[in-house]
Structure 1
Amino acid sequence: MPKFVIERSIPQIGAVGAAELQAIAQKSCSVLQDLGPAVQWVQSYVTGDKIYCIYNATSEELVREHARRGGFPADVVARVVNTIDPITAEA
């Protein structure tokens, strides 16, 4: 299944508390349950004004539908075409 990186601009998101982040995660999981197994949330990274999410999905359109139904921005949705890490340097 293809992997996607989603950039979500949310002003001051890095300053929100655990309860609000939990509510956001619960909403996301609820929408994912409705959409079925063709889209999966892997992990998200919260920064000052953005959230960067990693999703597995059969299509970009499905990632955007999740955002629409959840009320989340999806400013950039980029399909991952390869990964590199320090082990790549040793090949």
Structure 2
Amino acid sequence: MPQFVIEREMPGVGQMTGEQLKGASQGSCDVLRQLGPDIQWVHSYVTDDKIYCVYRAPDEGLIRKHAEIAGFPANSISQVRATIDPTTAD
């Protein structure tokens, strides 16, 4: 299944408490359950003012639908074309 990186501009998100992040995660998971098994959240990186999420989905449209229902911005969605890491250099 294609993998995507979603950039969510959310000023101040890095200052959220663990409980607030838990609530946001629960809300996202609720919507994922509604949308079914074709969309999967892999993980996210929280920075000061943005969240970068990695999702698997058949297309960008389903990711946009998740963002709309969950109430999260999806400022940029990019399909991952390849993954590299230090072992790629070997």
State TM-score, norm by structure 2. 0.99
Q: For residue 80 of structure 1, report the CA deviation from its aligned partner.
A: 0.2
Residue 69 of structure 2 corresponds to: 69
Q: For residue 34 of structure 1, report the CA deviation from its aligned partner.
A: 0.2
Unaligned ranges ≥5, structure 2: none
How many corresponding residue pairs? Answer: 90
Q: For residue 60 of structure 1, report the CA deviation from its aligned partner.
A: 0.5
State TM-score, norm by structure 1. 0.97
1:30-74, Cα deviation, whole Å (9 max, x unpaired): 000000000000000000000000000011000010000000000
After TM superposition, the structure 1 = structure 2 runs for residues 1-91 of structure 1, keeping only pairs within 5 Å, are: 1-90=1-90
Aligned letter for 1:63? I
Distance 1:86 1:14 in 2: 28
Aligned letter for 1:68? E
Q: What RMSD over aligned residues (CA atoms) do the two structures have, in Å?
A: 0.4
Identity level (%): 53
Q: For residue 27 of structure 1, report the CA deviation from its aligned partner.
A: 0.4
Distance 1:89 1:36 in 2: 38
